[in-house]
Chain A
Amino acid sequence: MRKKIRFTTGDRIFLIIDYIILTIAMLTCLLPMLHVIALSFSDSVSASTNSVLFLPKGFNTLAYKTMFSNPIFFNSFLVSIVRTVVGTAANMILTVMAAYPLSKEDSELRGRKWISLFFIIPMLIGGGLIPNYLLVKDLGLMDTLWALILPGCLPIGNMVMMMNFFRGISKSLFESAEIDGANDFVILFCIALPLSLASIATLTLFQVVGHWNEWFGATIYINNRNLWPLQTLLHVMLTSIDYNSFSAENLSQLRLLSDRSFRGAMIVFATVPILCIYPFMQKYFVSGITIGSVKE
Chain B
Amino acid sequence: MEQQTNRNGRIPFRNYLKRKWRLYAMLILPAFVVALFQYVPLAGLSIAFQDFNPDKGFLGSDWVGMKWFRIIFQMPDFPLLLRNTVVIAVGKIVLGQIISIAFALLLNEITRPIYKRMIQTITYFPHFLSWVIIGGIFTDMLSSKGLINQFLGLFNIKPIFFLGSNQWFQSTMILLDLWKEFGWGAIIYLAAIININPELYEAAVIDGASKWKSIWHITLPGISSIVVMMGILSIGNILNAGFEQVLVMYNPAVYQTGDILDTFIYRQGLLDAQYSLSTALGLFKSLIALALTLTANHFATKYTNYRVF
* Chain A residues at the B interface, C-beta cutoff of 8 Å: 2, 5, 8, 10-11, 14-15, 18-19, 21-22, 25-26, 28-30, 32-33, 35-36, 39, 50, 53, 94, 97-98, 100-102, 104, 107-110, 115-116, 118-122, 124-135, 150-154, 156, 159-160, 179, 183-185, 188, 209, 212-216, 220, 231-232, 234-235, 238, 260, 263-264, 266-267, 270-271, 274, 278, 281-282, 285-286, 289-290, 294-296
Contact = CB atoms under 8 A, between A and B. Distances in A.
Q: Chain B interface: which size bin?
A: 35 or more
Nearest to A266: B136
B34 A29 contact: no
A128 B248 CA distance: 19
B137 A131 contact: no
- Of the candidates A108, A115, A120, A216, the one having the most CB atoms from chain B within 10 angstroms of its own CB is A216
A209 to B, nearest CB: 5
Nearest to B148: A32
Nearest to B229: A294
9 pairs of A and B residues whose beta carbons are closest in the complex = A127-B41, A131-B44, A128-B282, A213-B130, A122-B38, A98-B30, A131-B41, A101-B23, A184-B22
Given A2-B201, A50-B146, 12 more contacts: A22-B107, A97-B29, A131-B47, A135-B44, A212-B130, A216-B244, A264-B140, A266-B136, A274-B129, A278-B128, A282-B121, A290-B191
Contacts of B191: 286, 289-290
B247 A216 contact: yes
Given A29-B122, A135-B44, A126 B38 contact: yes
8 contacts: A22-B110, A32-B141, A100-B23, A115-B31, A129-B266, A134-B47, A179-B1, A234-B136
B44 A127 contact: yes
A4 B135 CA distance: 46
B309 A154 contact: no
A294 to B, nearest CB: 7
Contacts of B1: 179
Contact of B187 (A120, A126, A286): A286
Interface in B39-65: 39-45, 47, 54
Given A15-B211, A266-B136, A100 B147 contact: no
A232 B132 CA distance: 8
A110 B23 CA distance: 10
B155 interface: no
A125 B286 contact: yes
A26 B123 contact: yes
Nearest to B178: A28
Interface in B265-284: 265-266, 269-270, 275, 278-279, 282-283
Given A11-B210, A130-B282, A33 B123 contact: no
Nearest to B147: A35
Contacts of B205: 5
Contacts of B198: 2
* B-side interface mostly: helix
B222 to A, nearest CB: 14
B269 A130 contact: yes
Interface of B: 1, 10, 13, 16, 20, 22-24, 26-27, 29-31, 33-34, 36-45, 47, 54, 103, 106-107, 109-110, 115, 118-119, 121-126, 128-130, 132-133, 135-141, 145-147, 150, 179, 182-183, 187-188, 190-191, 198, 201-202, 205, 210-212, 226, 243-244, 247-248, 265-266, 269-270, 275, 278-279, 282-283, 285-287, 289-290, 293-294, 305-309
Nearest to B108: A18
A119 B211 contact: no
A238 B123 contact: no
A11 B215 CA distance: 12
B210 A14 contact: yes
Contact of B42 (A108, A127, A238, A264): A127
A5 B33 CA distance: 58
Nearest to A32: B137
Contacts of A121: 38
Given A25-B182, A134-B44, A110 B38 contact: no
B211 A11 contact: yes
Given A234-B132, A271-B133, A294-B305, A124 B138 contact: no
Contacts of B270: 129-130, 133, 220
A183 B25 CA distance: 12
Given A184-B26, A238-B136, A289-B188, A119 B121 contact: no
Nearest to A117: B309
Contacts of B42: 122, 125-127, 131
A212 B133 CA distance: 12
